[in-house]
Amino acid sequence: MLTNQMQIVKATVPVLQKHGLEITRVFYEQMLTEHPELKAQFDPEAQKDGSQSRRLAGAILAYAANIDRLDQLTAGVDKIAYRHVDVNVLPEQYPIVGKHLLGAIKTVLGEAATPEILDAWAAAYGQLADILIGREKAIYAEQLEPAAV
């Protein structure tokens, strides 16, 4: 990820504070409409009451605010990665999520979502996806190891 992309993502923190919940609501609506097969990986009650959107908005905000200090996110990444492993998230699902997250940003922010902002967020999402995929791969491997006696 380029330094200027990190700066752009950090600069979007106030926008995320204001519009993050709407972005995640639109994200889930669009993604789960286009990919209904993914619904099984989400708690329907958390979708219905909005807590899933709130959690995701908070996670995205934390990532944007700390994109230059990823070590601050280790506990959050672990929590998300373990949840993903529990519901069997696969690496090939990350591009679907990325497409719909960027689409939701564009939908909610309209013309304010400039090509530079969308490019920066595409890079940021790619970085985060790589981090999560790597951590999830390690968790899957740990689960396959025989228990020590």
Domain ranges of the chain: 3-143
- Alpha carbon distance 58, 60 (integer Å): 5
Which pLDDT band, with edges at 50, 70 and 90, does 147 fall under?
low
Q: Is 34 designated active site?
A: no
Inform me whether the pLDDT recorded for 149 exceeds 90: no
Contact in structure between 79 and 56 (CB atoms under 8 Å):
no
Active-site choice (94, 111, 142, 145): 94
35-55 confidence digits (pLDDT tens): 999 999 998 899 899 999 999
Which pLDDT band, with edges at 50, 70 and 90, does 22 fall under?
very high
Active-site choice (28, 63, 125, 136): 136
- Alpha carbon distance 29, 33 (integer Å): 6
Inform me whether the pLDDT recorded for 148 exceeds 70: no
Portion of the chain with pLDDT greater than 90, in percent: 91
Tell me what pLDDT residue 145 has. 77
Q: Given CATH 1.10.490.10, say whether it is the number of domain 3-143.
A: yes
The mean pLDDT of 115-141, rounded to a whole number, is 96
> Which two three-digit tokens encode residue 116?
């530079």
Which pLDDT band, with edges at 50, 70 and 90, does 24 fall under?
very high
Q: Where are the alpha helices (DSSP H) in 12-145?
A: 13-34, 44-48, 51-65, 74-86, 94-109, 115-144
Q: Is 94 designated active site?
A: yes
- H/E stretch holding 3 reads helix 3-11
